[in-house]
Structure 1
């Protein structure tokens, strides 16, 4: 089925397989491909048909756009097969430095984009050269790890932490069993091999993890799950240090009834039904200090609610203390507001923490302004629930490679199981306007000749009449239109010109009979 028409400059692309994971990484365009200075935009999506028997293979596709030294940008697509297993969670990030380049034997001057992929119970780390020097410069497997049988890796993320005078590369993996696994990416003495070293397991959720995000300083990790809660864990020892229970009822209305402890049969008929399952689809830090937290929760039906939280006691100042002295965060709910009339299935937050993107179960994409707490724009682009979203990786005032030629800065990318990839923007039109074709001098000369041939006779007649009128004015009304006469009596001059020259009065001699 062809994708539906959407208002330009937003657009929808048809894909060959259902998509279940998205990630977008980018650096500003600089207009050249200087080895370590080229801008890059990498958009990765993953999915498939479940197995090769369906005819739809499981794979990861990466659209890599980079600056070109000849001007403009170059684009290529790199595909990675995941075999019989589906990939659900992916995360793109920048070059880790010497680890990634040297581990593949590539030229150190050629930077790479790193890709984390969650496939079954395994997590893979790939390196993709930004500049393609040969046909074999595709994705290279750098490392992999089995997180545990039955864990089911679903989401992953990456950050850098400054620890004991060194930069530590940290990876977090959210699992279907509710556990979050923390790893460090390390290399050997020769920087030839990258490996996953497990540092901690974060336990607290009892259902599948929906989203995970590192604290801006890397001291904590924020998570949300299908158990109706969002939690904060320490990245040092994996201990839980914060807890948020999300709700999906109107804060201005009556609170939902809960069965009393020990009560066998509820007396109120409203309690005969089971309480709805709350799915906290998204969570994110809203500022650079990590004191503002947003969560988005909804049930299997009904409205979705956005909640803003504030941490009152913040660890701050580097890594948090470990052991029994670990402090618990005091978290306060600032507000809870309805952000969508239908359940939400995917979320993404812009880098500036102002534009929240929501994907609904009805296939719509909602752009929500967190400052004004209002919906900015709603797009209709998918026939099935939105499975994943990816926000623009850099600020909108900066351009990614390829956007200068296209004239459009996209705010968010969406995907679904309907084999469609949507790109959405708040721009009303492209910055590049269509160029009007200039007519040749020969065409302009032909038009001018035609106009002159048609209008020259009427123009000559008008000029002749004007000349005769001027002659009669000075011949008949010479005394009245003189300079001294005009200064003395303007009405007499006007009367003479009108009555004697321009208009002949029927009562005037010579009009009806020939004068003697």
Structure 2
């Protein structure tokens, strides 16, 4: 499906499957968001195997999308990032003016529910917690903030009725980045370099682990792992403790700023797109993030977005066993301003499998060729010996003729490299 937005440029999109027949696509365009409905059409199965079945096979026709809703986040707000709630009943929007908007979604109708105020600069990314009770946002002010997203909580309902902005439940302050080597001296005021938190994501189902990626405008980038702190007074208690997170591990993930981030569906790795066109995969299975794979300069321009693998199961469209002899599972898809779309995998390129019959036949044919050549050489040698003998021993009674030309060898020795006897 191809959606036409006219002259308006979408800067971020999110997908949510509503039921077995419909997918919602949310696009951040201008100062607001647009909600599109895309029907699903599943082709008949199984695929055709004979020519007669192929003639009767109905191929999927292009689907027709529908613009369901379009809402504004405010004049000059500038929507930068969007996200669906895992429950499908809410939508979060991160704006250029630092606000985070929460909309309720019911039967294709978007209703503004709350405004969250706290970021002093543009919001780069927003995401819901797996339990859909919190919203995590990151911005260019060097912080990541956690907000209340439960539509049933009294505090959120009170803010809606009073139209007062919500405040963050917790603030994660990313440390300033290191200065790059050979950086020119700063002019004007001296102070810490500006921190840009480009991406954020939850690393577990309970929301106790958070990953953020931050950097300066031209410095190295850091991938930070945050863990929730639970005070001793709240351990074993039914009362929820206040949200507090501590940055336990911080690793340098790129020598230049990171422009996009995406966490895999099973939280086993994170994909990072850099401004130099390189894409890095960091494994999250151990206590500290570690580099798995790095795809150097895949794109000629900065990576605008990356999408990590949603599930570890085979996805439609991937190469199957029956076509090339090996299946390839893509780990990341990436896009860039160079109009290129890349499918990346940590698997090595599969080698062409040779059947045992073909390999044995090829080796047998080589053996036959060598055997035939040896037979020809032996026949040629015997022919020369016979011809020479006929010419030399015209008469067996002529003993001197035989003694001078024919070479005799004793039965106890092999070879002919010795004087005649």
CA distance, structure 1, for counterparts of residue 114 and residue 281 of structure 2: 36
Contact 2:226 / 2:245 at 8 angstroms: preserved in 1?
yes
Could you give the per-residue CA deviations for residues 9-48 of structure 1, whole angstroms, max 9, x where no partner exists?
A: xxxxxxxxxxxxxxxxxxxxxxxxxxxxxxxxxxxxxxxx
* Residue in structure 1 matched with residue 394 of structure 2 by the alignment: none
Deviation of 1:307 after TM superposition, in Å, equals 1.4
Contact 1:232 / 1:243 at 8 angstroms: preserved in 2?
yes
Contact 2:170 / 2:243 at 8 angstroms: preserved in 1?
yes
Deviation of 1:241 after TM superposition, in Å, equals 0.7
Question: Given the alignment of the two structures, is residue 345 of structure 1 paired with residue 255 of structure 2, yes or no?
Answer: no
CA distance, structure 2, for counterparts of residue 457 and residue 432 of structure 1: 36
Q: TM-score with structure 1 length normalisation?
A: 0.59
* Residue in structure 1 matched with residue 289 of structure 2 by the alignment: 373
* Residue in structure 2 matched with residue 273 of structure 1 by the alignment: 190
Question: Given the alignment of the two structures, is residue 140 of structure 1 paired with residue 66 of structure 2, yes or no?
Answer: yes
Q: What number of residue pairs does the alignment pair up? A: 346
Change (3 A) 1:506 1:381: closer
Contact 1:308 / 1:335 at 8 angstroms: preserved in 2?
yes
Could you give the per-residue CA deviations for residues 271-301 of structure 1, whole angstroms, max 9, x where no partner exists?
A: 9424311100011111111101111110011
Give ranges in structure 1 of 5+ residues lacking alignment.
1-77, 98-109, 162-167, 188-193, 251-268, 315-320, 464-497
- SS of match in other structure, 1:427: coil
Question: Given the alignment of the two structures, is residue 122 of structure 1 paired with residue 29 of structure 2, yes or no?
Answer: no
Alignment of 1:100-119 (within 5 A): 111-119=21-29
Question: Given the alignment of the two structures, is residue 409 of structure 1 paired with residue 409 of structure 2, yes or no?
Answer: no
Change (3 A) 1:431 1:399: farther
Alignment of 1:425-464 (within 5 A): 425-430=345-350, 433=353, 454-457=373-376
Question: Given the alignment of the two structures, is residue 241 of structure 1 paired with residue 169 of structure 2, yes or no?
Answer: yes
Could you give the per-residue CA deviations for residues 75-125 of structure 1, whole angstroms, max 9, x where no partner exists?
A: xxx21111221110101222x13xxxxxxxxxxxx6233211111122112
Contact 2:177 / 2:195 at 8 angstroms: preserved in 1?
no
RMSD of aligned Cα (Å): 3.9
Contact 1:241 / 1:327 at 8 angstroms: preserved in 2?
no
* Residue in structure 2 matched with residue 287 of structure 1 by the alignment: 204
Q: TM-score with structure 2 length normalisation?
A: 0.71
CA distance, structure 2, for counterparts of residue 197 and residue 271 of structure 1: 46
Change (3 A) 1:142 1:425: same
CA distance, structure 2, for counterparts of residue 375 and residue 298 of structure 1: 18
Match of 1:214 among 99, 118, 128: 128
CA distance, structure 1, for counterparts of residue 86 and residue 302 of structure 2: 33
* Structure with more contact order per residue of length (Cα contacts < 8 Å, sep ≥ 6): 1
